[in-house]
Amino acid sequence: MRLAFGVGGWLFPRQAGRRIEAVFTRPSVQGRERALAAPLLDAELDSLEIDGETVTLYRWGDAATQPLLLFSHGWSSFGLRVSPWLPRLREQGYAVASFDQVAHGRSSGRHATLPGFGRVLARVARRLGPLEGVIGHSLGGAAIGLALAEGMEARRAVLIAPPADALAATERFARAMGLGAPALPMFRRALERRAGASLPAIAVQHVVPGLAVPALVVHDLADREVPWDEGERYARYWPGSRLLNTTGLGHHRIAGDAQVIEAGLRFLRGEAVGERVVSTPALPYGLA
């Protein structure tokens, strides 16, 4: 496939750009298989129609009498990945909800984008009612910023290994796939058409500076999928946010690590966790 994208990117840039966009926006088949094989954990299942797709919801506890926490999964993942958090959240008296994003898990659809993640998260939150907090891993964390910027209401937010820059993500993917340089602008334009948004406009430094919801950003220093500096960028530009660094957990294990879960619970209770990152005029993306 690298050879095809490499040669095609030079000889047929428009076609190669469209093709790589279709690959980029389609979650893995293995992710769906893992979702369907995962135990339901005694969840109450529900569904919601969003823009012509059926989104599957999972619920535990009674949101009418207990504070509600919503979990937002990452790319090629699924809502039941809340499982490491679930026992501790329930012990702390929370009702819990999660969901499968469009094109993930039990939900319908074939393609997804970051702006789409944000829109679906906001619609799910509106359906569920007032949120005590929202927890998101990877793209699910980035979706929290977008959803809050569009009016989603939550008292606190925990973002684990969130990507900050969709444009940088496309460049990393294009390099990994060996895409010929002339096709890169075509790739970006095709993605923006599907997403309904400009990639530079949804970079974190343009999305979160106006947010008032306290946030904890957790990121591993050795994350090989989403560089640590992207999590740090959230903490610089999000007013009232704090940054908790980890080591040795990478991009995936961090989401279910026991110490990260306990830190998240402390933050949700209102305790100070992590460090405040101070903005300076020397920031590469401007002063927050």
Q: Is the pLDDT of residue 146 over 60?
A: yes
- Mean pLDDT along residues 204-227: 96
Positive or negative, the CA dihedral 88, 45, 152, 227 is positive
More confidently predicted of 3 and 87: 87
Q: Scanning the structure block, which residue is given the tokens 């980029």? A: 24
- pLDDT confidence of residue 283: 56
Positive or negative, the CA dihedral 71, 76, 78, 83 is negative
Domains of the chain plus CATH, in order, are 38-168+210-268 (3.40.50.1820)
Q: What is the pLDDT of residues 65-78, one digit of tens each?
A: 999 999 999 999 99
- pLDDT confidence of residue 288: 47
- pLDDT confidence of residue 8: 58
- pLDDT confidence of residue 210: 95
- Mean pLDDT along residues 159-171: 96
Least confident of 9-13, 85-89, 160-164, 183-187: 9-13
Q: Is the pLDDT of residue 223 over 90?
A: yes
